[in-house]
Amino acid sequence: MTLWLLDHLLERIVRTGTLTRVWVDGRRRGFGDDTGPEVVMAVHDRRLPWRLLLNPSLALGDAYMDGTVTLPSADIRQLLDLLCRNLGTGSAPWAVNRLARAARFVARRAAQHNPAHRAADRVAHHYDLPDRLYDLFLDADRQYSAAYFLSGDDDLDTAQAQKKRHIAAKLCLAPGQRVLDIGCGWGGLALHLAQHQGDASVIGITLSREQLRIATARAERAGLAQRVDFQYRDYRHLQGRFERVVSVGMFEHVGVTHYRAFFRRLHDLLSDDGVALLHTIGRSDGPGATDPWIRKYIFPGGYIPALSEILPHIEDSGLIVTDIEVLRLHYAQTLAHWLARFQANRAQFDAVHDARFQRMWEFYLAGSEMAFRHGGMVVFQIQMARRQDAVPLVRDYITETERRHPLPPPVTPPSRF
């Protein structure tokens, strides 16, 4: 019965590609149309089909982490690519889609309560992991957000430098301005703005003590401690006025029930002639819910918004939207780089984390890439101001500013601090 159930699910899902499943007792069966490379999926637990039926994403992620699904002929990226390509084309069983949609609707609000005390624990869960982990897959500047690829051949460090320059251009920085970076990570963007873009004075805030320690040491080492100040602080507890406010890859932690407060705070922190830029992952297919596996293991409290969920709160705050860019596939490419680096550095990983943790991280990176390739995920860059004339009349200033700023030399990796 359980094998029948698994085969029924696979029959309905896998229409293109070549999947061979190997059951607990060694029995094999093929699915798909025999195109593309064969992916062999071995199942070692008879209960898996029921779990897949009830909670597909959680069950598959758990099974991969626990080793109850193994992939003798492929890696997790190929399996997820095959499954997501098929699910994305709408060939998933109708009932599964309907159930998933209903569950998403109920789960969405319940999971998004993210008050300040909980936000700090949730950030620590992810960003206070042993420091070396991030060196094994991120670029030298530890940019933990989508890079910006001008060409498919750009390497990761170049694409991340292009991302910082692109954001700086949209901020229209003038010399000596005060900038706030909400969710500053290990400090790379703040240091870039202070060093290469008009001598800005920057305050960067994070809820990770480990990030704060490293970002502060980097500012001191660069001789920028007078102009770049990193603080352990929640965005709700910040006072002051800034000519520029930027937030990159942080809004995903805010939670949908806090958007109103977030944009009101942003409005109050921005000076009258100020410019703000929000860079966040978003959904192009309308409101949804956080994938249960991602919520459980990677980003508790995280939520990816649709534009329709963000814009009403910007309008309500008194800010005006002056520009929106939708970056497609840049994050898929970034994640492919991260996964390739992670896999290339596996030997070093062994010293730090056990095999289960490694499979968890691999599933996270590969699954996220597929969400951008096939699942409607994109990145929104939303520029906002309090006044219509805060930015130039036409958009050419963005590329012109980028042209005037050659990419800076490579940075010293944070791991040296």
Give the footprint of ligand SAM on this chain (CB under 6 A): 119, 123, 127, 143-145, 182-185, 205-208, 211, 234-235, 248-250, 253
Q: From the CB of 181, what's the least distance to ligand SAM, in Å?
A: 7
Beta carbon nearer to ligand SAM, 29 or 126: 126
Beta carbon nearer to ligand SAM, 31 or 127: 127
Helix (H, G, I), strand (E, B) or coil at 378: strand
Helix (H, G, I), strand (E, B) or coil at 124: helix
Q: From the CB of 131, what's the least distance to ligand SAM, in Å?
A: 14
Q: From the CB of 163, what's the least distance to ligand SAM, in Å?
A: 8
Q: From the CB of 187, what's the least distance to ligand SAM, in Å?
A: 9
Beta carbon nearer to ligand SAM, 13 or 277: 277
| Dihedral of the alpha carbons of 406, 407, 410, 412, in degrees to the nearest 10 | 100
Q: From the CB of 143, what's the least distance to ligand SAM, in Å?
A: 4
Distant-in-sequence, close-in-space partners of 370: CB < 8 Å, separation ≥ 6: 77, 80, 81, 84
Q: From the CB of 182, what's the least distance to ligand SAM, in Å?
A: 6
- Tell me how far apart the alpha carbons of residues 29 and 14 are, in angstroms, rounded to a whole number: 12
Determine contact, residues 6/52, Cβ cutoff 8 Å: yes
Q: What is the DSSP annotation of 49-69?
A: HHHHHH-HHHHHHHHHHHTSE
Q: Which two tokens stand for residue 259?
A: 């958007």
Beta carbon nearer to ligand SAM, 141 or 309: 141
Selection from 206, 276, 280 nearest residue 249 by Cα: 280
Selection from 304, 332, 307 nearest residue 321 by Cα: 307
Determine contact, residues 86/51, Cβ cutoff 8 Å: no
Q: Which two tokens stand for residue 375?
A: 């699942």
Element housing 13 (H / E): helix 2-13
Q: From the CB of 145, what's the least distance to ligand SAM, in Å?
A: 3
Q: From the CB of 304, what's the least distance to ligand SAM, in Å?
A: 12
Distant-in-sequence, close-in-space partners of 138: CB < 8 Å, separation ≥ 6: 144, 338, 341
Beta carbon nearer to ligand SAM, 158 or 206: 206
Q: From the CB of 246, what's the least distance to ligand SAM, in Å?
A: 8
- Tell me how far apart the alpha carbons of residues 189 and 279 are, in angstroms, rounded to a whole number: 12
Beta carbon nearer to ligand SAM, 162 or 208: 208
Beta carbon nearer to ligand SAM, 83 or 256: 256
Could you tell me whether strands 201-206 and 228-232 are parallel, antiparallel, or unpaired per DSSP bridges? parallel
44 to each of 47, 66, 68, 74, 82, how far by Cα in Å?
9, 10, 5, 17, 20
Beta carbon nearer to ligand SAM, 117 or 404: 117
Beta carbon nearer to ligand SAM, 207 or 276: 207
- Tell me how far apart the alpha carbons of residues 91 and 74 are, in angstroms, rounded to a whole number: 23
